[in-house]
Amino acid sequence: MAYLGRGISPRKLFWWFFFVTNIATVFAGEFFNEFFYYQYLVLVPIYLLGFYDLFQSEHTLKSNYPVVGRFRYVMEDLRPKIYQYFIESDEDGTPIPRTIRNVIYQRAKLALSTKPFGTQKNVYQTGYEWINHSMYPKEFSEVQKDLRVEVGSKHCTKPYSLSIFNISAMSFGSLSSRAVEALNRGAKLNNFAHNTGEGGISDYHQSGGGDLIWQIGTGYFGARNEDGHFSEENYKNKATLEQVKMIELKLSQGAKPGHGGILPAKKNTAEIAKIRGVKVGTEVDSPPSHKEFSNAKEMVEFIERLRKLSGGKPVGIKMCFGKRSEFVDMVKTFKELDNYPDYIAIDGAEGGTGAAPLEFSDSIGTPLVEGLTNSYNILKEYGLKDEIKIIAAGKLFTGFDIVKAIALGADACYGARSMMLAIGCIQALTCNSNKCPVGITTQNPDLVKGINVEQKAKRVANFHHATLEAVREIVAAAGYDCVTGLKRKDIFKRDSNHGVHSYEDIYPTYKVEV
C-alpha cells in the first residue's frame, strides 16, 4: 500500500481527487445542469476531512492515507461486533461463550430452557468437566428447597441467612443508576443478597429494599474522612442500616489483585463523587492496600472493630488467593487470636471488571479452582472451616458452576457478569469507555434511560430462581438431598492424555503445602 496507481502516493492522490472533482462538478453544473452542484453536499465534508488528515500529526496512517486511512479505525471498532455475531461459534466466544449467554437470557426471560439434539461440547477435549449421576437419584421434591447458609461465627451476634447465589460486587459508578436499582429490586423479589461493590451505598442500592452486603475497599468510600482515612462515625451510620446484612472488607479482587479499584474520570459524576467523598470528574484510583492495617493481627483487630460498630453483623474479607505462605500465616493468626472474619470471599483470577491493566487482568492472581481448594484445605487444617464460610466468585453462570464450586469447598457463590447479562448486557466489551450500548456500565443519561427497571428486576429474579432450581435438579440427580452432600470426588475432569480424574484426586482435601 506504499503507493497507489502508477507511482502516485495517497497524499498526492487526494490532491488529484480534490482538483478533478472540483473541475468536473463546476463544468457539469455550468454546461449541463445546476443539479450537479449538489454534489458538494458530499464532496465538501470529504475535502474537509482529507485536509484535516493531511495536516494533523497525531496519526501517521491518516496523514499518509487521507480519508481512506480512517476505515482502519472503523473496522477496528466493528471487528468485535462482526466477530461476535457472524464468525464465532456458540462455544468459542470470549470471555463468555454464546451458549452460556443464551442460557442466562432464556432464564431471565422465562423462555425455553431446554436444548435439542445433544451437547455441542466436545466431551473428549482436555478440560471437559462433569458430575456423575447416581443410579438411585432423589426425587426433586426431596431436595432442600431454600438453598441458604448461615453466615456468622461465634463472634457475631447477628448472623445472616445467605442464599447460595448472590449478586457480586459492582459499584454504582462502574454500573449505572438504573442497573444498580434493577439488581437490588431483583434481589428483593427472590430473597438474595446484593453486594454494593467498593463505591459505597447509593440511593439506588437502597431503593429496592433488597438485602445488602456493604463492601469496603482500600478507599473506604462512604466510610472515610476528607483525608481518605477510615471514619468510625461515617461507617457506623451506614453499617447499622437494617438493609445492610453483612460487611465485606475488600483486600483484592481477581481481575486485578494487588491493584486498587479504578473509576474512569468519565464515570465520576457529581452524584458519584458525593457518595464516595472524592473530587468530581477525576479518575478515582483506590490504593493497593489498606491504611488501617498492615499485617494479619492488625487486620483481625480492624475486623472486630467493624463488627462491633455494626452492632454485631457478620464481617468478611474478599481476596484473590495469592502467596500461600501469607494465607497460612493469616489463618494461623486467626487461630492464635481465636478471632477471625465470619466469611472469606475467594475471587478467581478469571473474575471480571470494568477496567483493569492488561497485565493484572491476564497474568496475576490464582484462578478460582486453585484458590478455592487451597483456602478450604488450609481453613480445614487449622480447624476453622466450620466457623469461617467461603463464598466463591469468578465466572459462575450456571447451576453446574455453582454445584462445582460447592463441591470444591464453597458454601455460597457470587455472580457479577451473569447478573449483568440478566439485565441485558450484550458483551459489547465497552465497560471502560462509558459507551455501554445497553446503559448498564455507563453514566451517559441518554444510554441509561433505556433500562426498564421493573422489567429488568423481574429478569434478575427469574434468572436467580431458575439457576437455583437447576442446582436442585443436579443435586437430586447426584443422589443427594442437600448441596452439603457434594464433595470433590463427585466432579470429574479430563486431562490432556484423555485420562479422567476426580477433583479429590487432583486436589486432595486435607493436603496443605506451605
Question: Strand order in 491-494's β-sheet?
Answer: 129-131, 491-494, 500-502
Q: What is the pLDDT of residue 3?
A: 47
Phi-psi group of 263: left, alpha or beta (phi > 0 → left; psi -120 to 50 → alpha; rest → beta): beta
End-to-end CA distance of the chain: 58
435: its cell numbers = 459507551
The DSSP output letter for 279 is: -
Alpha-carbon torsion (501, 503, 507, 508), positive or negative: negative
> What's the pTM?
0.85
Phi-psi group of 338: left, alpha or beta (phi > 0 → left; psi -120 to 50 → alpha; rest → beta): left
Phi-psi group of 277: left, alpha or beta (phi > 0 → left; psi -120 to 50 → alpha; rest → beta): left
Instruction: Using alpha carbons, select from 405, 403, 489, 501 the residue that is nearest to residue 126.
Output: 501
Q: What is the pLDDT of residue 498?
A: 81
Q: Do the Cβ atoms of 113 and 466 come closer than 8 Å?
A: yes
CA 57 to chain centre: 38
Q: What is the pLDDT of residue 512?
A: 54
Q: What is the pLDDT of residue 91?
A: 64
CA 340 to chain centre: 27
- Distance, in Å, from the CA atom of 113 to the CA atom of 41, rounded to the nearest integer, reads 52
Q: What is the pLDDT of residue 4?
A: 47
Phi, psi of 360 (to 5 degrees): -70, -40
Cβ neighbours of residue 487 closer than 8 Å, sequence gap 6 or more: 407, 504
3: its cell numbers = 503507493
Per DSSP, the three-state class of 441 is coil
Cβ neighbours of residue 226 closer than 8 Å, sequence gap 6 or more: 277
Phi, psi of 249 (to 5 degrees): -90, 110
Predicted confidence pLDDT, tens digits, the chain (514 residues)? 444 445 678 888 889 999 999 999 999 988 888 888 889 999 999 999 999 989 888 888 788 888 888 887 777 777 766 666 666 666 666 688 888 888 999 999 998 767 676 677 778 889 989 999 999 999 999 999 999 999 999 999 999 999 999 999 999 988 999 999 999 999 999 999 999 999 999 999 999 999 999 999 999 999 988 888 899 999 999 999 999 999 999 999 877 777 766 777 877 888 888 888 778 888 877 788 899 999 999 999 999 999 999 999 999 999 999 999 999 999 999 999 999 999 999 999 887 665 666 677 677 889 999 999 999 999 999 999 999 999 999 999 999 999 999 999 999 999 999 999 999 998 888 887 888 889 999 999 999 999 999 999 999 999 999 999 999 999 999 999 999 999 999 999 999 888 999 999 999 986 555 4
Cβ neighbours of residue 359 closer than 8 Å, sequence gap 6 or more: none
Q: What is the pLDDT of residue 356?
A: 64
User: 130-506 falls under which CATH superfamily?
Assistant: Aldolase class I (3.20.20.70)
Tell me how crowded residue 119 is: count the other CB atoms within 10 A of its CB. 10
- Distance, in Å, from the CA atom of 71 to the CA atom of 65, rounded to the nearest integer, reads 10
Which amino acid would we find at residue 53? D
Q: What is the pLDDT of residue 491?
A: 96
- Distance, in Å, from the CA atom of 218 to the CA atom of 235, rounded to the nearest integer, reads 14
- Distance, in Å, from the CA atom of 215 to the CA atom of 196, rounded to the nearest integer, reads 6
- Helix and strand counts by DSSP (H, E) for the chain: 18, 15
| CA-based R_g, the chain, Å | 27
CA distances from 238 to 209, 269, 306 (A): 14, 22, 12
Q: Do the Cβ atoms of 169 and 198 come closer than 8 Å?
A: yes
The DSSP output letter for 139 is: P
Tell me how crowded residue 17 is: count the other CB atoms within 10 A of its CB. 16
